[in-house]
């Protein structure tokens, strides 16, 4: 068992550095991947520090065993940067962002201070009191940091989900639920820190704590590296509203009134041109097709239908699938072929959306037509 754990941890370190390299070099490069790559490097470095560096250096200096892992203070800030960049492609790292690394610097300075005073320690009891003070201080700072970031990460996740559904008709490569993985990672680390606090208070044996942290971080590396490779931002970095779009929005009617002319123009275009056949149709591309402002189009859809862009477009796709199923010319087509014909990007997306609007699976609906 011990050998298996060691292999898992070693492979996690290698995978972390390799995934970081791939994320910044792949043709599918997402600007947010820079922060995800940094996060993976931090996790790999933390494993190296906790599972290997500290136990090895302990042979030469007893105090080094008690240098707490400072890299754990970088995990949540980089999760925050990654989620922020996904949600807001225009986000840029500026000098003021260095404030996010202050807790990390404090931990390093505090650890070095404790080490520097080791030479003045006269007995084991005094040494243990220093170690206890270090553990409580670091755990307290870490818990406060994690609690502070939790609220803002949740806000970003909620905003990301809302933006995706208002901009995209296909969220397969931009899955709002994926960000919950970051939240689960966050919670796992939070629980470990709470556990560390309990250990410090009771002064129990902590020989296996570093191994436990290393295993959790190793699993996080595999999950984050794989999922992050295919994750995309909601909008491209150049999707800033053009000046003419902003000017047009100023001319929108106030309140919740619908521009009936623009609404009819939109519905006629959807019916005649069927832009929903494009599985990657977005709010921005549809706005360009009908020559109106992007935000104006969003307002028309949200106010006129009471729903979001995602549901608006996919409702048309579902209606077309139902028409094609009832058409004798398509009786020899498979259900999936009909779904692709209507603009659905995949079987899983088609099945979930079709059932959402009809209450039946595609197979059940087609059997009901017989």
Asked whether residue 142 is domain-assigned, the answer is: yes
Asked whether residue 51 is domain-assigned, the answer is: yes
Nearest CA to 362 among 318, 297, 300?
318
Same domain, 268 and 185: no
- Provide the pLDDT for residue 132: 66
Give the position of tokens 């509203």: 241
State which residues of the chain have pLDDT below 50.
63-67, 236-256
- Provide the pLDDT for residue 249: 43
Asked whether residue 235 is domain-assigned, the answer is: no
Nearest CA to 291 among 265, 317, 271?
265
Same domain, 161 and 17: yes
Other Cβ atoms less than 10 A from the Cβ of 310: the count is 19
- Provide the pLDDT for residue 29: 63
Tokens of 95: 């000098």
Q: What count of residues does the chain have?
A: 370
Tokens of 202: 């009771």
For residue 152, the Cα-to-chain-centroid distance in whole angstroms is: 13
Asked whether residue 247 is domain-assigned, the answer is: yes
Same domain, 167 and 268: no
Nearest CA to 9 among 249, 215, 291, 295?
215
Exposure pattern of 192-222 as b/e (b: 16+ CB <10 Å)? bbeebbeebeeeeebeebbbebbbbbbebbe
- Provide the pLDDT for residue 310: 94
Domain, as residue range, for 255: 243-369
CA distances from 137 to 111, 130, 133 (A): 10, 11, 6
Same domain, 219 and 250: no
Which domain-ending residue is among 209, 230, 251? 230
Same domain, 112 and 207: yes
Asked whether residue 238 is domain-assigned, the answer is: no
Asked whether residue 196 is domain-assigned, the answer is: yes
Beta bridge partners of 108: none
Asked whether residue 261 is domain-assigned, the answer is: yes
Counting the structural domains of the chain, the total is: 2
Same domain, 221 and 282: no
Measured CA to CA, the distance from residue 65 to residue 48 in angstroms comes to 14
Same domain, 150 and 6: yes
- Provide the pLDDT for residue 239: 42
Helix, strand, or coil (residue 70) = coil
Same domain, 93 and 126: yes
| CATH, residue 127 | 1.20.1070
Same domain, 201 and 267: no
Same domain, 257 and 160: no
In sequence order, what are the residues at sequence separation of 6 or more whose Cβ sits closer than 8 angstroms to the Cβ of residue 183?
153, 154, 157
- Provide the pLDDT for residue 202: 64
| CATH, residue 311 | 1.10.10.60
Same domain, 202 and 254: no
Which domain-ending residue is among 187, 209, 230? 230
Burial class (CB in 10 A: 0-12, 13-18, 19+), 239: middle
Dump the DSSP string for 177-219.
GGHHHHHHHHHHHHHHHHHHHHHHHHT---TTHHHHHHHHHHH
Same domain, 255 and 305: yes
Which domain-ending residue is among 197, 230, 263? 230
- Provide the pLDDT for residue 288: 93
Burial class (CB in 10 A: 0-12, 13-18, 19+), 285: middle
Helix, strand, or coil (residue 272) = helix
- Provide the pLDDT for residue 253: 42
Dump the DSSP string for 215-256.
HHHHHHHHHHHHHHHH---SS-TT-PPPHHHHHHHHTSPSTT
Asked whether residue 304 is domain-assigned, the answer is: yes
Measured CA to CA, the distance from residue 80 to residue 186 in angstroms comes to 10
Measured CA to CA, the distance from residue 31 to residue 353 in angstroms comes to 30
């Amino acid at each position: 068992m011990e050998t298996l754990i060691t292999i898992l941890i070693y492979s996690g370190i290698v995978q972390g550095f390799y995934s970081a390299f791939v994320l910044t070099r792949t043709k599918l490069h997402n600007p947010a991947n820079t922060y995800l790559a940094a996060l993976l490097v931090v996790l790999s470095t933390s494993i190296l520090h906790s599972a290997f560096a500290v136990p090895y250096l302990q042979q030469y200096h007893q105090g080094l065993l008690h240098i707490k892992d400072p890299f754990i203070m970088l995990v949540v800030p980089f999760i925050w940067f990654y989620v922020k960049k996904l949600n807001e492609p225009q986000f840029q790292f500026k000098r003021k962002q260095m404030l996010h690394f202050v807790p990390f610097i404090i931990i390093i300075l505090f650890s070095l201070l404790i080490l520097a005073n080791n030479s003045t320690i006269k007995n084991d009891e005094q040494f243990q009191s220093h170690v206890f003070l270090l553990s409580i201080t670091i755990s307290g700072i870490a818990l406060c940091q994690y609690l502070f970031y939790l609220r803002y990460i949740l806000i970003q996740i909620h905003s990301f989900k809302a933006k995706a559904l208002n901009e995209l008709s296909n969220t397969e490569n931009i899955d709002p639920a994926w960000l919950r993985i970051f939240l689960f990672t966050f919670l796992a680390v939070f629980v470990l820190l709470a556990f560390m606090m309990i250990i410090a208070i009771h002064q129990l044996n902590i020989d296996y704590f570093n191994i436990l942290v290393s295993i959790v971080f190793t699993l996080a590396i595999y999950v984050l590296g794989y999922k992050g490779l295919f994750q995309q931002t909601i909008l491209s970095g150049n999707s800033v509203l053009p000046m003419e779009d902003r000017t047009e929005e100023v001319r929108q009617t106030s309140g919740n009134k619908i521009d009936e002319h623009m609404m009819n123009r939109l519905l006629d275009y959807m019916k005649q041109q069927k832009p929903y056949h494009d599985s990657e149709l977005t709010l921005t591309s549809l706005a360009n097709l009908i020559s109106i402002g992007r935000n104006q189009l969003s307002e028309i859809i949200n106010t006129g239908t009471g729903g979001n862009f995602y549901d608006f477009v996919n409702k048309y796709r579902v209606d077309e699938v139902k028409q094609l199923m009832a058409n004798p010319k398509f009786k020899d087509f498979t259900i999936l072929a009909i779904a692709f014909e209507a603009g659905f990007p995949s079987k899983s997306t088609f099945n979930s959306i079709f059932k959402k609007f009809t209450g039946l699976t595609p197979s059940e609906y087609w059997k009901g037509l017989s």
